[in-house]
Structure 1
Amino acid sequence: MEIFAALGGTVWTVFFFIVALSIIIFVHEYGHYIVGRWTGIHAEVFSLGFGPVIWSRMDRRGTRWQLAAVPFGGFVKFLGDADAASVRPGDTSGLSAAERRHTMAGAPLWARSATVAAGPVFNFVLTFFVLAGLLLYSGMPQEQPTVGKLMATPFAGPTLQAGDVIVAVDGTPTPDLAAFRDATRALPPEPVVDYAIQRGSDQISVKGPHPYPALVSMVLIRSAAMDAGIKEGDVILKAAGQDVTVFAQLPEIVAASKGAPVPLTIWRDGKTFEVTLTPRIRVTEDADGALIEKYQIGLGSGLVFEPATRNVGPLELVTLTGTEMWRQVSATFTGISHLITGQISTCNLSGPIGMAETMGDAARNGLESFLGMLAVLSLGVGILNLFPIPVLDGGHLVFHAYEAVVRRPPSDRALRVMMSLGLAVILSLMVFALTNDIVCV
């Protein structure tokens, strides 16, 4: 990573975008390939990328695996296909009945449908396993609020230590995390708080920093904060000339700026420095979960300590990962509906440049951030491919549904017309999104 960072931001961004996209496309196309193989449809070519072939190998099943020079796509060409889209059958007159069974056109409808649907399904599976892996790695906070690691702050003096169990905050009992969250919401914006803690066999009282000081726990990708070089662990001391003691004060100050530059005084590793950020309008969720647009500088808050964690059980892992995937799917469709109805700006629709910048920024935040965005992008690719647009997998499934109802596939002429219309729609969306990447700030 240091080598790519030294070469410059553009090289870094393009490299990690290609890495992420290649993983997602490989998994998508492998879904088509392996389910096709399981259902008796022979793949002639499995290509990662388009254009001139730079490497290829024929396996023992007669499938040519290849890497092509243009790394922004891929395809599986099945036996008898006229092209990589697997919509129009080629000339199969020279094939026997047994050989035709191994083509996409000659396979039973169930086999064709399963092969087509497998691409998006494998994208969902990739998202599930990445999110589950991240959850297994990070663990879940222990039920009792327990200090795992205390973050560095300007606070001086005896305070919380790793292993401390927080029994009460400013006199409010905190028997579990829910009670701890409720207690912290009721705290005044004071820099110092009284804690009752269980330390070993002793219960003692100590003073410490507010549970939610103006501590940066996350720098959002493609944000003013990331562009300015703010890092996780930084502490905001002042914003727009106002003292900041808790993070909750910062959004109000940024919103009041109405897009004007906001000067910040930042503490990092015992030193302070000044930086000025210009807020950007971004989509976020309000208290009711609805999507709204507001000015943001791109910082996330966190506790003054990392909570001690526990291992996640198998059933809990599946439940939590499935819930997070469903939340992301719901947010995707909510965002699309808000774009269509004009409730949020169309500038929130990113094209390839925006996606590349997103993956580059995620990589700068670390491996966990990169993998998290990889999961989000894979889920998005799976959802997009299920849209009922010809040339996409969802369009193929619509053709198969038509065939199941009327007992015959659409005519070649109808397929050509619909494929042309579908391609026009996709290209129009790509041009629109690319324009957003260039025009929108």
Structure 2
Amino acid sequence: MIEGPGFLLSVLAFLLALGPLVFVHELGHYLAGRRFGVKVEAFSVGFGREIGGFTDRHGTRWKFGWLPLGGYVRFAGDMNPASQPSAEWLSLPAAERSGTFQAKPLWQRAIIVAAGPIINFLVAILILAGFALAYGESRTPPTIGLVGPNSAAAAAGLRPGDRILSIGGRSVDTFDDVARYTRIRPGEASTIQLVREGQVQTVPVTLGTTTERDRFGNVFRLGQLGIGPAGRVIEPVGVLEAPVVAVRQTGQMVGMMVDTLWQIVSGRRPVSELGGPISIARASGEQLVLGPQAFVFLVALISINLGFINLLPVPMLDGGHLLFYAIEAVRRRPTDPRVVEWAFRGGVMAILALMVLVTANDLGSLGLWRGLSGLIG
């Protein structure tokens, strides 16, 4: 077992991972806004009181907030969190109002909002493309080489030589596709379509559950089918193919996030598995201890998470804005400002509640609640 990174190294790793990703996210909004002629009043990495910054020749205040858990770009005319036109905005001189966010056409506002998550995905794709160039891509065929005794596969009657075509209704191209599906579904019932001796068969299976402990002592509950390949196939990836591989891998990761989120919403996965800043900091420190490759891969994963979460249709997030823009496009007129205001208030409450929940989970993972219960007992 490897010794943990410690508090200071975890904080440093957290800042090294999240800080640049927040910056590039907000940079996406900034660059798109500037491209469409919107005046940018402030660009902040972090929230709360400013601890340092400068004002550029365009009048934009670049600053760092004391709470490094996010950031924001404030465009001219952003006089309320929902970016809705207001009486104050209408009172601006015409020339000044033309440079505000609200004065831009719907499609331009949508691009400005979407640019932040998009650049997060692009960062991840760039990193994953580099890994593909350096290490190739796993393309092991989904043909079973061995079946573990007393495993879920053995109980389902799977045999060496079977080639898996799909699992849970999802087509399978490589052995890794099977692993991705099973790992996040411990104990779940599913079906496997396979080819055996030239015949296509469909067999029911109940996935097994295994508990794994990593090198830092963290324990994970994972799904397991109990099969292995006949041999691993790693193929080199060229420069032109690397971005294609990276886009595919990014899509696979987003798919796993969607599946995991749905499992939590549907009650098949406990909400206690949701982590917050403390969990991210601890994971960042651990990956930094393991080496630069592990840390950079984690940065790619966090970047995908930032892009995905910000595109969720929750008011206050980028996806919430895009949702109202889609409604506006269909209705051909903006949503009633009162509806938007109440929706964004609800979004704020939901995000605050989620932050309380994940913080409680983080503190629980550190043993705080067990310690308190011991003191009370």
Q: TM-score, normalised by structure 2?
A: 0.70
Matches within 5 A, 1:279-318: 280-284=219-223, 286=225, 312-318=237-243
CA distance, structure 1, for counterparts of residue 297 and residue 39 of structure 2: 34
Amino acid at match of 1:280: V
2:119 to 110, 117, 122: 122
Q: Does residue 1:26 correspond to 2:19, yes or no?
A: no
2:34 — aligned with what?
37
Instruction: Kindly state the Cα deviation for residue 385 of structure 1 after the two structures are TM-superposed.
Output: 0.8
Q: Does residue 1:104 correspond to 2:132, yes or no?
A: no
Q: Does residue 1:13 correspond to 2:16, yes or no?
A: no
Q: Does residue 1:59 correspond to 2:89, yes or no?
A: no
Maintained 8 Å contact 1:81/1:89: no
1:229 — aligned with what?
none
Maintained 8 Å contact 1:132/1:321: yes
2:65 — aligned with what?
68
CA distance 1:84–1:341, change in 2 (3 Å) = closer
Maintained 8 Å contact 1:25/1:74: yes
Q: Which has the larger radius of gyration?
A: 1
Residue aligned with 2:59, SS: coil
CA distance 1:423–1:285, change in 2 (3 Å) = farther
Residue aligned with 2:18, SS: helix
Q: Does residue 1:403 correspond to 2:328, yes or no?
A: yes
CA distance, structure 1, for counterparts of residue 287 and residue 85 of structure 2: 40
Maintained 8 Å contact 1:54/1:69: yes
1:341 — aligned with what?
266
Instruction: Kindly state the Cα deviation for residue 111 of structure 1 after the two structures are TM-superposed.
Output: 1.0
CA distance 1:427–1:310, change in 2 (3 Å) = same
CA distance, structure 2, for counterparts of residue 392 and residue 114 of structure 1: 14
Instruction: Kindly state the Cα deviation for residue 409 of structure 1 after the two structures are TM-superposed.
Output: 2.0
Instruction: Kindly state the Cα deviation for residue 88 of structure 1 after the two structures are TM-superposed.
Output: 6.0
2:181 — aligned with what?
none
1:382 — aligned with what?
307
CA distance 1:140–1:110, change in 2 (3 Å) = closer
Matches within 5 A, 1:130-141: 130-139=127-136
CA distance 1:140–1:124, change in 2 (3 Å) = closer
Higher relative contact order (CA 8 A, sep 6+): 2
2:276 — aligned with what?
351
Residue aligned with 2:241, SS: helix
Amino acid at match of 2:334: P
Amino acid at match of 1:63: T
CA distance 1:68–1:412, change in 2 (3 Å) = same
Instruction: Kindly state the Cα deviation for residue 335 of structure 1 after the two structures are TM-superposed.
Output: 0.9
- Deviation string, structure 1 residues 174-212 (Cα, Å, up to 9, x no partner): xxx869x987x59xxxxxxxxxxxxxxxxxxxxxxxxxx
Maintained 8 Å contact 2:82/2:341: no
Matches within 5 A, 1:67-86: 67-83=64-80, 86=83
Residue aligned with 1:435, SS: helix
Instruction: Kindly state the Cα deviation for residue 410 of structure 1 after the two structures are TM-superposed.
Output: 2.6
CA distance, structure 2, for counterparts of residue 81 and residue 278 of structure 1: 47
Matches within 5 A, 1:366-381: 366-381=291-306
CA distance 1:375–1:90, change in 2 (3 Å) = farther
2:361 — aligned with what?
436
Amino acid at match of 1:23: P
Maintained 8 Å contact 1:77/1:85: no
Instruction: Kindly state the Cα deviation for residue 137 of structure 1 after the two structures are TM-superposed.
Output: 3.0
CA distance, structure 2, for counterparts of residue 343 and residue 140 of structure 1: 32
% identical equivalent positions: 35
RMSD: 3.7
Residue aligned with 1:82, SS: coil
Maintained 8 Å contact 1:22/1:48: yes
Q: Does residue 1:320 correspond to 2:317, yes or no?
A: no
Q: Does residue 1:422 correspond to 2:352, yes or no?
A: no
1:248 — aligned with what?
none
CA distance, structure 1, for counterparts of residue 271 and residue 289 of structure 2: 27
Maintained 8 Å contact 2:114/2:318: yes
CA distance, structure 2, for counterparts of residue 73 and residue 387 of structure 1: 16
Amino acid at match of 1:363: L
- Aligned pairs, how many? 305
Matches within 5 A, 1:219-298: 280-284=219-223, 286=225
1:364 — aligned with what?
289
Instruction: Kindly state the Cα deviation for residue 356 of structure 1 after the two structures are TM-superposed.
Output: 1.4
Maintained 8 Å contact 2:133/2:239: no
1:247 — aligned with what?
none
Unaligned runs of 5+ in 2: 148-207, 368-377
CA distance 1:75–1:90, change in 2 (3 Å) = farther
1:412 to 337, 351, 366: 337
- Deviation string, structure 1 residues 220-268 (Cα, Å, up to 9, x no partner): xxxxxxxxxxxxxxxxxxxxxxxxxxxxxxxx9x95xx89xx9xxxxxx
CA distance, structure 2, for counterparts of residue 349 and residue 414 of structure 1: 30
CA distance, structure 2, for counterparts of residue 365 and residue 352 of structure 1: 20
Residue aligned with 2:325, SS: helix
1:240 — aligned with what?
none
CA distance 1:127–1:278, change in 2 (3 Å) = closer
Unaligned runs of 5+ in 1: 144-176, 187-251, 263-274, 289-300
1:230 — aligned with what?
none
Maintained 8 Å contact 2:126/2:243: no
1:220 — aligned with what?
none
